[in-house]
A and B are shown apart, each in its own frame.
Chain A
Amino acid sequence: AQKITQTQPGMFVQEKEAVTLDCTYDTSDPSYGLFWYKQPSSGEMIFLIYQGSYDQQNATEGRYSLNFQKARKSANLVISASQLGDSAMYFCAMRQGGGAQKLVFGQGTRLTINP
């Protein structure tokens, strides 16, 4: 069964510093996708970045990048030059290939950016 693990319940970072949020996954399926979502205190789920298991390069979206280490089964989110508005819950999720296309979420990391 697929599983997502986020080992950092909370992180505190100074504004403008870079931050890495950890995510490890477990799957036996060679085809899968990894997603990161942000959930601010207002509650909505905001999609940030996607990495496919066959992608040759690490994904990047603006200040967000994904440090994908396939052999170690890790997909860490890197936020460069953090801002106060980055304070939120961050969830890593995985979708296996095939018809089911179900998404499994980790428990999340609460990131707090200090001024």
Chain B
Amino acid sequence: NAGVTQTPKFQVLKTGQSMTLQCAQDMNHEYMSWYRQDPGMGLRLIHYSVGAGITDQGEVPNGYNVSRSTTEDFPLRLLSAAPSQTSVYFCASRSTVQSNQPQHFGDGTRLSIL
């Protein structure tokens, strides 16, 4: 009963490095999204996808890329890491069949940029 799986759980990068945060779900959910959580600011939407091959920007997309080649996977790429991207990143998915379905979250990736 995996749900939403995020890897890695922790990562330290140097400024300018690139990396990919992985997200996979096994619930056949159409909708997937990435959030970042900074202290005192709640969760903010970075990018989202309503299905394979379809992605769109959220509230804070700059510095991040996403792709959705399969229903299961939704990786988040940091192109050139900056200290301002130090945060906790959450991936989430939900079924779009019914409007009352909540988003299921992964356990998060804690990312530090030095």
Contacts and interface: CB of A to CB of B under 8 A. Distances in A.
A, B from the same assembly: yes
Interface residues of A, number: 25
A107 B107 contact: no
A91 B88 contact: no
Contacts of A103: 33, 45, 92, 103
A102 B50 contact: no
A4 to B, nearest CB: 8
Contacts, number: 54
Interface of B is mostly: strand
Contacts of B108: 43-44
Given A91-B43, A101-B50, A44 B100 contact: no
Contacts of A4: 42
A45 interface: yes
A105 B75 CA distance: 22
B54 to A, nearest CB: 10
A39 to B, nearest CB: 9
Interface string B38-63: 00111111001010000010110000
B102 A108 contact: no
Contacts of A105: 35, 42-44
B74 interface: no
A33 B105 contact: no
Given A44-B105, A44-B108, A45-B105, A106 B42 contact: yes
Given A44-B105, A93-B43, A101-B50, 8 more contacts: A4-B42, A31-B99, A45-B43, A45-B105, A52-B99, A102-B33, A102-B45, A103-B92
12 contacts: A44-B108, A45-B43, A52-B99, A91-B43, A99-B50, A100-B56, A101-B31, A102-B58, A103-B33, A103-B92, A105-B42, A105-B44
